[in-house]
Amino acid sequence: MNKIEDFLKNAEKIIILFHIDTDGICSAKIVNESLKRLNKKVLDYFPTSPQLLKSKTFQIGIVRDNPDLIILVDISVDDDEPLIKNNKGRKFLIIDHHQVTKDLSNDNIIHINPKLSGDETYTPASKVCFDELNKVIDIEDLDWVSAVGIIGDTGGIFQKKFITKTLKKYKYAVKNDKDYFFDSFFGELSNIINSAKMCKGNDGAIKALKLIEESSTPNEFFEKAFELRMCNEQVEQYINDSVELFEKSKEYLKDLDLYFFTFSPKYLIGSTLSTILSFKYPAKTLVILTKKGNNTTVNFRRHDKTYDMGQLAKESVQGLKNAGGGGHIPAAGAHLQSKDVLTLKNNIMKKLGDMMHK
């Protein structure tokens, strides 16, 4: 019995925390289905983000059921995370793929991240969950869930063999996009899941997870997700309109090859919009700021990976109150108080300039 299997089989009260995006939702499905096959029941699900994870109110909600195992998927966690520090008597299983500074593994924590072993291949959490839990119990039939999560996290180009094999297994075509598979049926399912979050936030993420939980095949999920498909159509048009708005309103700093764009969208499209724009402007640094009242979220993109967006996001918010940031080299995110946006932009310009002149 390996350590993961031991953790799972000996847990009686389990909760799952998952990132509120397609990769996180698919990861949660894979974990929960694995637990079912081990005759384990999940007490509760919590869609979350690094920002929400630090909230005292959120932490109170997490421990109200007195779980003995907390599973986190697709969420970056460090050693000073309040959730870890305040719950030292509980066990944690962390399955992630973001940039990481320290292995948190000890007697009560299993920390799984390919980067901890020096593997810098971009491997979304849904693939890490699939590979690791498939060693514990047979979940080969969840390969399609993993593939959908990978595509949703723009990881197709790094997992081509797996996605191509899985599409062919279910008799779906590999179409024109043989790098990211956005135009495949799995790409369509990924968009449907992502639109749930964009339309309805945490409630939408829970809705998408519930539907994929009830589905044994890709087609079954597609049929069940009628309401989300309608939502996806609305969001796609709104994103197209927002791309046009970006072109009219963007702020360009030529010396830094940097675009700033600030907006207050109806839907939670900041991440998706920034990814779309990064394909259009692969050699530019894109900073998309989404303002909502007193809070602003920021999406950083640099598709050609010339500069580390995870580092830029993290360092740009250092010293700002109630702020945080981090992520991957080509894509990262941050959050801060809206009153600090000007300071953030100045920090970004300075730190990006430093990166360019190293």
Q: Note the pTM of the prediction, 2 decimals.
A: 0.92
Q: Which amino acid is at 133?
A: L
**pLDDT averaged over every residue in the chain:** 95
* Predicted confidence (pLDDT) at residue 227 exceeds the cutoff of 70: yes
Please state, in angstroms and rounded to a whole number, the distance separating the CA atoms of residues 105 and 92: 9
Residue 259 is predicted with a pLDDT of: 99
Mean pLDDT (whole number) for 148-172: 97
**Is 237 inside a domain boundary?**
no
* Percent of the chain with pLDDT strictly greater than 90: 88
Residue 1 is predicted with a pLDDT of: 55
Same domain, 182 and 92: yes
**Is 137 inside a domain boundary?**
yes
Say which CATH number the domain at 340 has. Answer: 3.10.310.40
**Is 193 inside a domain boundary?**
yes
* Predicted confidence (pLDDT) at residue 139 exceeds the cutoff of 90: yes
**pLDDT tens column, 73-89:** 999 887 778 888 888 88
Same domain, 219 and 314: no
Same domain, 213 and 263: no
Residue 132 lies in domain: 3-228
Residue 86 is predicted with a pLDDT of: 84
**pLDDT tens column, 177-216:** 999 999 999 999 999 999 999 999 999 999 999 999 999 9
Same domain, 177 and 81: yes
Same domain, 218 and 262: no
Confidence of residue 32 (pLDDT cuts 50, 70, 90): very high
Same domain, 161 and 263: no
**Is 210 inside a domain boundary?**
yes
Same domain, 128 and 222: yes
Mean pLDDT (whole number) for 228-249: 96
Confidence of residue 64 (pLDDT cuts 50, 70, 90): confident
Same domain, 56 and 187: yes
Mean pLDDT (whole number) for 89-116: 94
∠ CA 93-97-102, nearest 5°, is 70
Q: How long, in residues, is the chain?
A: 358
Total tally of structural domains belonging to the chain: 2
**Contact criterion met (CB below 8 Å) for 3 and 56:** no
**Is 316 inside a domain boundary?**
yes
Same domain, 78 and 189: yes
Please state, in angstroms and rounded to a whole number, the distance separating the CA atoms of residues 169 and 171: 5
**pLDDT tens column, 6-30:** 999 899 999 999 999 999 999 999 9
Distances (CA, A) of 276 to 172, 280, 350: 24, 7, 26
Residue 254 is predicted with a pLDDT of: 97
Same domain, 125 and 221: yes
**Is 241 inside a domain boundary?**
no
The string of DSSP codes covering 56-96 is HHHHHHHHTT--SEEEEES----TT-HHHHTTTTSEEEEE-
